[in-house]
Amino acid sequence: MATLIVNGQERVVHSTLGTPLVNVLRDELGLVGTKIGCLEGDCGACAIIVGEKINDEIKYCALTSCLMPLGNAIGRSVITIEGTNLDNRLSRIQKAFVDHNGIQCGFCTPGFIISAISFALTSNEITLDNMINAVAGNICRCTGYKSIERALDEIVNDLKRIDMKNRINWLINNEYLPEKFLGYEKQLKTNSAKTSYHNNGKIIAGGTDLLVQEEEAIRDGSHPRFIWGDPSLKTIRIENAKCYIGGATTVSELYSSTILNNMIPRFKQYLRLVSSTLIRNMATVGGNIANGSPIGDLSIMFQALDATLFLRGAQGTREIAIKDFFTGYKKTAKQDDEIIEYIYFNTLRPNDNFSFEKISKRTHLDMATVNSCLKLSRNKQGIIEQASFSVGGLGPTIRFMSETSKALLGKVVSDETFIEAERVAQKEITPRSRPEYKRLLVRQQLFLHLKAANDSLSSEVLR
Ligand SMILES: Cc1cc2nc3c(=O)[nH]c(=O)nc-3n(C[C@H](O)[C@H](O)[C@H](O)COP(=O)(O)OP(=O)(O)OC[C@H]3O[C@@H](n4cnc5c(N)ncnc54)[C@H](O)[C@@H]3O)c2cc1C
Ligand code: FES
Ligand code: FES
């Protein structure tokens, strides 16, 4: 038995703590406005908003309730589409969807509306591009998207008037939210999110892998360790020229981190290639590394940054280089009870280069066919003093390309350097599937990385 706060009301539910929240909302509470499409985080039909009190401030985000275990919702404020309806009339966003014919069968509509409301609740930069990024995890199979885009454009233009300092009241006064929303906030002030970091069960962070891969085991499992949102596992800070990132930090928190965006100029652009806003709001750094995926985007990035993992388990604590962490397909050097508390790496120097590339079938919401990351440190003369090239999608684990990295040392970034490094890279890899295609992708990605460091690199070298 657990108590959940849904649309401002405390509701007692009986599902196990590992049950996907969408099932609790629909089957136990009858809130069927939240739809079930794929149950794998891909369609956004099950999107809900979750509010949480953090240091006396209430933070909102939208996420997919099919991948959120009930345990992660306890102590947070869950807002479903029903909780965003105004009495007897359409809200501003609903009306825009109707006016622009953004609805046909209507199955995807609650998810789109939730993502758009979450954007209105959270965005500091009101642009159509950012709004589209907010709904990038919502899929519609009827409308063809243009009519939805027109509705979103109208909303964005209206939201440009928003009073950021008095956001909730503005959204209520302008018919984006019902008045009862203020009550949801009050309710949250007396609650805080629960985590169960200290027991010995299965570690569950965002659940975006676990609820896809092991849904039944998680639903039926006992005493999970819910660590998502545990403040002691959430940090992004710099100390003594090292950057520390907590294991339960979400991809969205990386995305909005001033520290990381100052250090890596195109960081947001890279992170937009990782899943969707709905998934990034849940997915954590620790989960991305611990799942041992051979194409984990964050693992690739942190390997190029030569990160070290700090693990805590029943036997105490230890550190391990990320390069030594992956031991086989989805296998790692981590014991079951060990938690990745944080990772750290040397901060980039102002003229260091860091670039990430990812090729997948779809630009957004897709895993990589091949992904890679290159970090270069050069001296004042432009000579490469340190290079770390990391590639995924070529075998059972992500790969640190030690020979290729070495081949770059002592050189300037030039056409000749690319030709030589590419020759070494091709010797260093043995792609298991579609070898010719993957060799081509490694070649092109290495070129793009070096081009990012020296724009005058000529594409002639690719012929
Ligand atoms: C629709 C969809 C799209 C996706 N797209 C991408 C993508 O583009 N790129 C990408 O890289 N990934 C993608 N993923 C995969 C996934 O979202 C990420 O790997 C995510 O970072 C996993 O984090 P999590 O917190 O959800 O992990 P969870 O599912 O909670 O856990 C995953 C594993 O890690 C363990 N674990 C979690 N946290 C810790 C910790 N701190 N210490 C020790 N063990 C821990 C768990 O026990 C479990 O074994 C996608 C997933 C979905 C569903
Ligand atoms: S049902 Fe498709 S994302 Fe949840
Ligand atoms: S309107 Fe039918 S799925 Fe979007």
Q: What atom of ligand 3 comes closest to residue 142's alpha carbon?
A: 2
CATH number, domain of 146, equals 1.10.150.120
Question: What is the per-residue pLDDT for 406?
Answer: 98
- CA 97 to ligand 1 center in whole angstroms: 33
Question: What is the per-residue pLDDT for 362?
Answer: 78
Q: What atom of ligand 2 comes closest to residue 43's alpha carbon?
A: 2
Helix 92-99, helix 146-159: angle, nearest 10: 140
Same domain, 210 and 249: no
CATH number, domain of 198, equals 3.10.20.30
Same domain, 330 and 367: no
- CA 288 to ligand 1 center in whole angstroms: 4
Report the distance separating Cα 35 and Cα 162, nearest Å.
30
Q: How many domains does the chain have?
A: 4
Q: Is the pLDDT of residue 200 over 90?
A: no
| Mean pLDDT of the residues in the chain | 94
Same domain, 381 and 454: yes
Same domain, 193 and 63: yes
- In the chain, how long is the greatest CA-to-CA distance? 70
Does residue 341 or residue 202 have the better pLDDT? 341
The candidate with the shortest Cα–Cα distance to 282, out of 127, 66, 120, 10, is: 66
Owning domain of residue 72? 2-84+185-220
Q: In the 8-state DSSP scheme, what is residue 349? A: P
Same domain, 207 and 337: no
CATH number, domain of 453, equals 3.30.390.50
Question: What is the per-residue pLDDT for 185?
Answer: 82
Same domain, 339 and 270: yes
User: Mutate which of 21, 25, 46 to test ligand 2's pocket (most atoms within 8 Å of Cβ)?
Assistant: 46
Give yes or no for residue 104 CB within 6 A of ligand 3. yes
The candidate with the shortest Cα–Cα distance to 82, out of 115, 110, 103, is: 110
At which of 313, 346, 379 does a domain end? 346
pLDDT band at 198 (very low <50, low <70, confident <90, very high): low
Q: What angle do CA 91, 50, 181 make, to 5 degrees?
A: 40
- 77-79 and 2-6: which strand pairing? parallel
- CA 138 to ligand 3 center in whole angstroms: 10
Rounded to an integer, the average pLDDT of 435-463 is: 93
Does residue 53 or residue 316 have the better pLDDT? 316
Q: Are 93 and 176 in contact (CB under 8 A)?
A: yes
Q: What atom of ligand 3 comes closest to residue 102's alpha carbon?
A: 1
Same domain, 331 and 358: no
Q: What's the pLDDT tens digit per position in 147-168?
A: 999 999 999 999 999 999 999 9
By three-state DSSP, how is residue 305 classified?
Answer: coil
Q: Rounding to the nearest 10 degrees, give the CA dihedral for residues 249, 254, 256, 258.
A: 110
Same domain, 201 and 74: yes
Same domain, 340 and 241: yes
Same domain, 339 and 234: yes
Report the distance separating Cα 392 and Cα 443, nearest Å.
13
Q: Is the pLDDT of residue 328 over 90?
A: yes
Which ligand minimizes its atom distance to the CA of 142?
3
At which of 300, 321, 346 does a domain end? 346
Give yes or no for residue 144 CB within 6 A of ligand 3. no
User: Which pTM was predicted?
Assistant: 0.96
Which H helix or E strand runs over 182? helix 181-189
Which H helix or E strand runs over 346? strand 339-346
Same domain, 448 and 305: no
Give yes or no for residue 291 CB within 6 A of ligand 1. yes
- CA 147 to ligand 3 center in whole angstroms: 11
Give yes or no for residue 143 CB within 6 A of ligand 3. yes
Give yes or no for residue 108 CB within 6 A of ligand 3. yes
Length of the chain: 463
Same domain, 299 and 326: yes
